Amino acid sequence: MMVKKRRKKKRIMFYAKKGEMERTDFDDGSRSISMTQDMQELLEEQEKSFVEKFGREPGPDDPLFFDPDVDTPQPYPEEKFTETIVESMREAGVDERLINAYKKTGLLVTQDNLDLMTPEELEEFEEALKSEKYD
């Protein structure tokens, strides 16, 4: 007989700019985060864009964020995403050390999302900030 292991929950409350959010961490390393109104609106916009692009509702296997430059639903390429974020950060005058840390870790750490980060993620980001080498 196989016994299914229950995931233990640890609830953490934190505040974002637009309302209360809740993060639940599970023992298996996964986590869930409640959505703000802004997040919900973003998802609704993505769904509209998907329907406009592909002429149908998204299915369970379709990507949430898709590549608008292709004719079939494909995930938005990570390289394109990173390039877009880095370009926006530079246009906004973000310190090059922060840009480099983002490129190395894939993490965007701000006061608003600090509570979402694990200690390991924060350590990784801090190490990347200390790096003298810029990509």
Residue 114: inside a domain: yes
pLDDT (0 to 100) of residue 59: 92
Residue 17: inside a domain: no
Residue 59: inside a domain: no
Residue 52: inside a domain: no
Start-to-end C-alpha separation, the chain: 53
Q: pLDDT-based confidence at 134, cuts 50/70/90?
A: low
Residue 88 has pLDDT above 90, yes or no: yes
Q: How many domains does the chain have?
A: 1
Residue 122: inside a domain: yes
- Interval 83-99 mean pLDDT: 95
Residue 131: inside a domain: yes
pLDDT (0 to 100) of residue 21: 63
Paired strand residues for 15:
20
pLDDT (0 to 100) of residue 12: 36
Residue 134: inside a domain: yes
Distances (CA, A) of 7 to 3, 25, 121: 13, 9, 22
pTM equals: 0.58
Q: Give residue-wise pLDDT tens across range 52-73.
A: 999 999 998 999 889 999 999 9
Residue 75 DSSP label: B
Q: Give residue-wise pLDDT tens across range 3-61.
A: 444 444 433 333 344 345 667 778 887 878 777 788 889 889 999 999 999 999 999 89
Which residue from 91, 119, 120, 121 is spatially nearest to 108, judged by alpha carbons?
121
Domain that holds residue 83: 77-135
Residue 7: inside a domain: no
Tell me the residue length of the chain: 135
78 or 90, which is more confident: 90
